[in-house]
Amino acid sequence: MRIYKGYDASTKKTNLVLVGVNQSGKDMVDGVILERLAPCPPDCPDSSPLMNL
């Protein structure tokens, strides 16, 4: 997985873009690319076990 800095022109805010990486270390741009995330914080669920790490 690789994380790039991005920019959402519709909200005029920076964001993160997550892209899968293959065995050769190249970006997998033909698959799913996550570009709209719910960062934690502030969008953190209280019940997540990851909140206690």
Contact 52, 40 (CB under 8 A): no
Question: What three-state secondary structure class fits 52?
Answer: helix
- What's the burial of 38, exposed, middle or buried (CB within 10 Å: 0-12/13-18/19+)? exposed
pLDDT in tens, the chain (53 residues): 999 998 888 889 888 888 889 999 999 988 777 777 777 888 888 888 887 76
Which amino acid would we find at residue 24?
Answer: S
Choose among 33, 51, 42: nearest CA to 13.
Answer: 42
Model pLDDT, residue 31: 73
**Helix/strand number for the chain, H first, E second:** 0, 3
